[in-house]
Structure 1
Amino acid sequence: MLLRTFGWSMGITVAGLVLAFILWGGKGLAIVAILSVLEISLSFDNAVINAGIVRKLNAFWQKIFLTIGVLIAVFGMRLVFPILIVSVTAKLSPYEAVKVAINDHDRYELLVTNAHPAIAAFGGMFLLMIFLDFIFEDRDITWLSWLEKPLAKLGKLDMLSVCVAMVALIIAATTVATGVPVHGGGHGTIDKAETVLLSGVSGLLAYLVVGGVSGYFEERLEDDEEEDEDGEGDTEGAEPAEPAGEVAPVAAKKTGSSRARTVGMAGKAAFFMFLYLELIDASFSFDGVIGAFAVSNDIFEIALGLGIGAMYIRSLTVFLVRRGTLDDYVYLEHGAHYAIGALSIILLVTIKYDVSEVITGLVGVVLIAASYWSSVVRNRRLGEGSQESDDDKTEVTSGV
């Protein structure tokens, strides 16, 4: 299963590293390898979040995620998107932005770095909304119950997550955005409060629109399934008014609805869920793209290295879905969402201050590892409880 799931990623890794050696020699090979590891370490929590969404999709849309989604992730977010950001923020034509990216690496790095406040505000607000909606939702299973249960009660207030996110954005705009250091050899600071506010609100709106529409279609699908189940229950409990041979259509309907629940989300619901996935991936990729300039300012080295890492995140997503890992280790999604919350705050802080990618990666890894270990402990405890229950039943039976 490992080879089938990670085979494409391994093949692209070998091809990418060979290409890097041919184009840039041993130094380029090392840079691409480092960037690949950087992307994987920064985005492991992204794979967990993706898996929680991808498992809701049917087989067709899962393939779309693994094909078109990969192209968008590798070429769109790691190659085209930074150029578009440079084009918009520097007021250059796309053609001029491409020329700068290819021919003037130092200027390209400077332009992308100067665009970081806008990128961080957009991505930070989008990720913060994901975390807040998760933490304010009432759940049957809680990881940090002392924190999650009180917050779930508060979450019954309408639009609480939006209000909290707006407060966080206002704080960011009036603190870290007011004294952003000037890059490129200049001295002093510049006020980016307006830029941060505009970009942050844009990230918030993007989440509300795409996340809201995908959630709407998901709820409609669940309502339809519940209606089908109710109809099946009424049919099964009723007296047969027709000959046995006439019941076949009802049985077929039952089989069909069961299959629909097994196959997963399709149509408009799956399309908007796919868009939601891509926006999540985009928000996760921002810190990776910016952090990559600490290693290289060559756009093609960055795209190749981060692209290889993105392939492994996609493969890891599929692995988690196929193995049913999120069902077996129920706290993993909690850990991933806490990592998202931490990343959103880190992105907002990086508007003014430099935060090492090592810290960003370690925060996610530690939270994921802690949630995994908690899941293992829970499973052992439940297994021991089940075993004790079986032993008690055995003793009672043997004593009768």
Structure 2
Amino acid sequence: MILKTYRWSFVVTALGLVLAAWYGLSAHLGIGQAIALVLILSILEISLSFDNAVVNATILERMSDFWRKIFLSVGIIIAVFGMRLVFPIVLVSVTAGLGPIEVIRLALEGGDPETPGTYGYELHEAHPTIASFGGMFLLMLFLNFIFGEKEHHWLGPIERALEKVGKLDYVQVIVAGAVLLVVAETFATEHGRTVLASGLAGIVTYLLVNGLGELFNVEDHVEHEDPATTSAGTTASGVNGPSGAARATGKAAFFLFLYLEVLDASFSFDGVIGAFAITSDPVIIAIGLGVGAMYIRSMTVHLVEEGTLAQYPYLENGALWAIGALAVILLLSIEVEIPEVVTGLIGLAFIVASLISSIRYNRAHPEEAHVEQHHAAQPG
């Protein structure tokens, strides 16, 4: 099972290390240094994005096998080349007013992120735009979960109270808009207009992608399975429906896939920025973060195929609270330097805490745990 699920991660790791060795030799970094940097960056990406795997799994379990394969093939190409290599270049080009060719030249030259005019410096200067967009997108995801109906309440009194507040129309948008205004007008005054525009773009992107997913989530685009082997639930994307009882195909699956890619983009921002604290070489960064991203995707599939979310009822809650914490950290990082290790540890703490709570719950309710394990063991 492990070899089947992670085989492509192992292949990408091997290819990444070979490519790093070749690049290190040709770029005069040294083979050993290049390989070491790739391994460090891979671990950084995995540690920062483990909660992403849990959230992705809640969405991926609603997609057909075909679209799961697309997620691991086309999706990883978008994740590695799109978000870890092309996107930073496009972002620097737009924010610095430079042509793509000039940005690529700067990227290949490397340079200290503290030195004006370097690629790393220009990418750091674009951080308010990145943090505001990603922070608000992730905040909308968190608010959609915390104000929505849930099968299991991890932080009981808090989650039940917020669930009642969620009965108000558009409460997620109202809260997100209020947070953005506060951040733009009081906290990030130096970048107020940029933060406001980027944050609104993040909110609109979430509403658009999530809304399209719901629009096409109809009977014509869903494969039904035996209801006797499935259980009801609510997805992290905010689309209420059967978990495992129906798998999205066609347009519904496409927009869920699109949603996953935007979500991955939001998660990747802190990794890309944090990578420059380790090295300013964009090729090494793309290889290292790309290898890490592949493992996150394999972890996502592993969680789905093992039925982990069903076996540990609070795991999804913990992942969404970790996302809420990450959203706050991204917004704070507009003006305050926050070490990436802090971001990773906070997310990991929520995951571990929810896992421990799930184990305790299963021990206290063995009959429910047995049913969930039975469902998870069913083929398909």
Q: What is the TM-score when the length of structure 1 is the normalising length?
A: 0.82
Residue 216 of structure 1 is matched in structure 2 by 215
| Counterpart-to-counterpart distance in 2, 1:386 and 1:28 | 46
1:176 aligns with 2:187: yes
Contact 2:275 2:285 in 1 (8 A): yes
In the alignment, which of 352, 356, 360 is matched to residue 373 of structure 1? 356
Deviation, structure 1 residue 68:
0.3
1:109-188 equivalences under 5 Å are 109-178=120-189
1:16 aligns with 2:11: no
1:273-352 equivalences under 5 Å are 273-352=256-335
Residue 193 of structure 1 is matched in structure 2 by 192
Contact 1:59 1:263 in 2 (8 A): no
Q: Secondary structure at the match of 1:330?
A: coil
1:44-55 equivalences under 5 Å are 44-55=50-61
Tell me the number of residue pairs that the alignment of Structure 1 and Structure 2 aligns: 342
1:56 aligns with 2:62: yes
Residue 206 of structure 2 is matched in structure 1 by 207
1:31 aligns with 2:42: no
Deviation, structure 1 residue 59:
1.1
Amino acid at match of 1:79: L
Instruction: Call closer, same or farther: CA 1:72–1:293 in 2, change over 3 Å.
Output: same
| Counterpart-to-counterpart distance in 1, 2:317 and 2:246 | 25
Instruction: Call closer, same or farther: CA 1:11–1:92 in 2, change over 3 Å.
Output: same
| Counterpart-to-counterpart distance in 1, 2:281 and 2:151 | 48
Residue 182 of structure 1 is matched in structure 2 by none
Instruction: Call closer, same or farther: CA 1:333–1:385 in 2, change over 3 Å.
Output: closer
Taking only the aligned residue pairs, the percentage that are identical comes to 53
Contact 2:222 2:246 in 1 (8 A): no
Instruction: Call closer, same or farther: CA 1:119–1:35 in 2, change over 3 Å.
Output: same
| Counterpart-to-counterpart distance in 2, 1:302 and 1:72 | 15
Q: Name whichever of 7-16 and 34-43 sits farther off.
A: 7-16
Amino acid at match of 2:108: I
Q: Secondary structure at the match of 1:264?
A: strand
Deviation, structure 1 residue 289:
0.3
| Counterpart-to-counterpart distance in 1, 2:154 and 2:110 | 49
| Counterpart-to-counterpart distance in 2, 1:269 and 1:15 | 34
| Counterpart-to-counterpart distance in 2, 1:148 and 1:41 | 26
TM-superposition CA deviations, 1:153-210 (whole Å, max 9, x none): 00000010111111111111123312xxxxxxxxxxxx21000000000000000001
In the alignment, which of 54, 77, 97 is matched to residue 103 of structure 2? 97
| Counterpart-to-counterpart distance in 2, 1:51 and 1:384 | 24
TM-superposition CA deviations, 1:370-395 (whole Å, max 9, x none): 111111111111117999xxxxxxxx
Instruction: Call closer, same or farther: CA 1:333–1:4 in 2, change over 3 Å.
Output: same
Q: Secondary structure at the match of 1:175?
A: helix
Q: Secondary structure at the match of 2:73?
A: helix
Contact 2:313 2:358 in 1 (8 A): yes
Deviation, structure 1 residue 224:
8.2
Amino acid at match of 2:52: N
Quick check: which has more Rg, 1 or 2? 1
| Counterpart-to-counterpart distance in 2, 1:71 and 1:343 | 25
Contact 2:222 2:249 in 1 (8 A): no
Structure 1 runs not aligned, ≥5 long:
179-190, 230-260, 388-400
Structure 2 runs not aligned, ≥5 long:
25-30, 113-117, 228-243, 371-380
Deviation, structure 1 residue 262:
5.5
Deviation, structure 1 residue 22:
3.4
Name the structure with the higher helix share. Answer: 1
Amino acid at match of 2:55: I
1:357 aligns with 2:340: yes
CA RMSD of aligned residues (A): 2.1
Q: Name whichever of 102-111 and 18-27 sits farther off.
A: 18-27
Amino acid at match of 1:127: L
| Counterpart-to-counterpart distance in 2, 1:302 and 1:102 | 12
| Counterpart-to-counterpart distance in 2, 1:335 and 1:221 | 31
Q: Secondary structure at the match of 2:365?
A: helix
TM-superposition CA deviations, 1:13-59 (whole Å, max 9, x none): 12312332333221121111110000000000000011100110111
Q: Secondary structure at the match of 1:192?
A: helix
